[in-house]
Amino acid sequence: MDRLYDIAEVLRSKNAGPLYTTIDLLFPDEATFRRVSENEALSPGAVAELYGLEPEDVKIVYFDAANAIKVTIPRTGPTSGAPGDRDVYGAQQHGPLLALMIP
């Protein structure tokens, strides 16, 4: 088992409009991409549990040609740039996925 942080080349988050955050996962090769994409460790249910969401609110898209996965979740708290927003760019929202264990 490895942490997602240790096997992804890029693990970042950013806004996907004012109401959603997207998390990009890029892998160094097809084998690593397949290892993660074909595993239930990174599923809507697993992501929902980490972020306190409902599984139906989590969208996961696989980009085979780029060895990449995009996870989109609704922003919790205020919309981007609203008073009280602590991460206006959504750049710190990938944190809960760092320690996700991948078999």
Instruction: Quote the CA–CA distance of 96 and 51 in Å, as a whole number.
Output: 7
Instruction: Quote the CA–CA distance of 31 and 4 in Å, as a whole number.
Output: 14
Residue 30, in any domain of the structure = yes
**Digitized pLDDT (tens) for each residue of the chain, 103 residues in all:** 999 999 999 999 999 988 999 999 999 999 999 999 999 999 999 999 999 999 999 999 999 999 999 999 998 777 777 888 778 888 888 989 999 999 9
pLDDT of residue 82: 81
CB 18 within 8 A of CB 81: yes
**CATH code of the domain in which 71 resides:** 3.30.70
pLDDT of residue 91: 86
CA triple 68-17-85, angle to 5 deg: 110
pLDDT of residue 28: 98
Instruction: Quote the CA–CA distance of 29 and 73 in Å, as a whole number.
Output: 25
pLDDT of residue 4: 96
| Alpha-carbon distances, residue 67 vs 28, 29, 33, 80, 96 (angstroms) | 7, 6, 5, 29, 21
Host domain of residue 15: 2-76
Q: Which residue's entry shows tokens 């990009």?
A: 24
Domain count, the chain: 1
Residue 93, in any domain of the structure = no
Residue 98, in any domain of the structure = no
CB-count burial class (<10 Å; 0-12, 13-18, 19+) for 67: buried
Residue 16, in any domain of the structure = yes
